[in-house]
Chain A
Amino acid sequence: MKVVFERPKSLQATKTHYCPGCGHGVIHRLVAEVMDELGIQDKTIGVAPVGCAVLAYNYFDCDMQQAAHGRAPAVATGIKRALPDRVVFTYQGDGDLAAIGTAEIVHAAARGENITVIFVNNAIYGMTGGQMAPTTLVGQKTETSPYGRDPQIAGYPIRVCEMLATLDGPSFLARAELTDVKNINKTKSYIKKAFEMQLSGKGFSLVEILSPCPTNWGMKPKDAVDWVKNEMVKVFPPGVFKEPKEG
């Protein structure tokens, strides 16, 4: 019998604390599958954020560091500079990466820091109970934008890939959506590409993943997936924003 699917060995057997239908679980699995496929589990060090994925260090079966809120790119920089032949990735939410950690991500990208960033954009602060994130859509209701995000008061969502694409440092920037089988597979192919960039020393790579948070969006899992597809994608167009020229 041929194995069509099994748990990747870079993912621990532990059950996760994520809510039903949460995108984090799928993204963890994709990262672990890529680690397996590239044979890098033994030399990879991951950096967990502050956010719903704070316990990622219990889930990945590789060495892990837990970073202060938003500081994962700086922590990863420290690891990578100390051990340049290891593979280093951060796993960060939108609040972590695009609000409190904006300086750290921009400068890691600008330096072309040879790390890989897995950026989970769920347009909300999941862990703290659904407050407005830097990626919250205009009009989106959250705990702290109860009447819908009003640009007059709270400005506009940040498009991280587009912003970082203005820099010379990044080698690979892509945005994917966790909506259906095809797009989940595409997400994985981006993640793989991002790690390959690091392995070939090309510098900073980031994959932004539009990911459902059914709990704090107040939706059923299926509806949350549809909301990614119908609403988030309009504001955050998926695609590749930067990649090395062929040849």
Chain B
Amino acid sequence: MSKIIIDKDRCKGCGLCIEVCPKKVLFFDNDMVNVLGYHPVAAKEGCIACGFCATVCPDVVFTIYREEKGGK
């Protein structure tokens, strides 16, 4: 189990995270416009908490958690 939190108002829509996601779970939420005027990124199910998106994101949009081994 992993959890990805997207601070949508920080997203500038550069799309670098979408390119890098190995599970292709990230996409632009075209139904929404954030405070900066961009369609922010959103996530579907299936994130494996690899952290790639957070590594390439210039705007610290993501917070990512992973279930610890043995935990629930």
**Residues on A facing B (Cβ under 8 Å):** 1-7, 11, 15-16, 18-26, 29, 180-181, 184-185, 214, 220-222, 225
Partner of A16, one of B56, B59, B68: B59
**Residues on B facing A (Cβ under 8 Å):** 2-3, 9-10, 12-16, 19-20, 36, 38, 49, 51-52, 54-60, 62-68, 71
Inter-chain residue pair count (beta carbon < 8 A): 80
B12 near A21 with CB under 8 A, answer yes
A3-B49 Cα distance, complex, nearest whole Å = 10
The A contact surface, by secondary structure, is mixed
| Chain B contacts for A181, CB-based, 8 A | 20, 52, 55-56
A7 near B16 with CB under 8 A, answer no
- Identify the closest chain B residue to A222 (Cβ): B19
B68 near A2 with CB under 8 A, answer yes
25 A–B contacts, CB within 8 A, in A order: A1-B3, A1-B68, A2-B67, A3-B64, A4-B2, A4-B64, A4-B66, A5-B54, A5-B64, A15-B36, A16-B58, A18-B58, A20-B14, A20-B38, A21-B14, A21-B58, A25-B57, A25-B59, A26-B57, A26-B58, A29-B60, A180-B56, A185-B55, A221-B15, A225-B16
- Asked if A21 meets B16 with Cβ closer than 8 Å, knowing A1-B3, A15-B10, A185-B55, the reply is yes
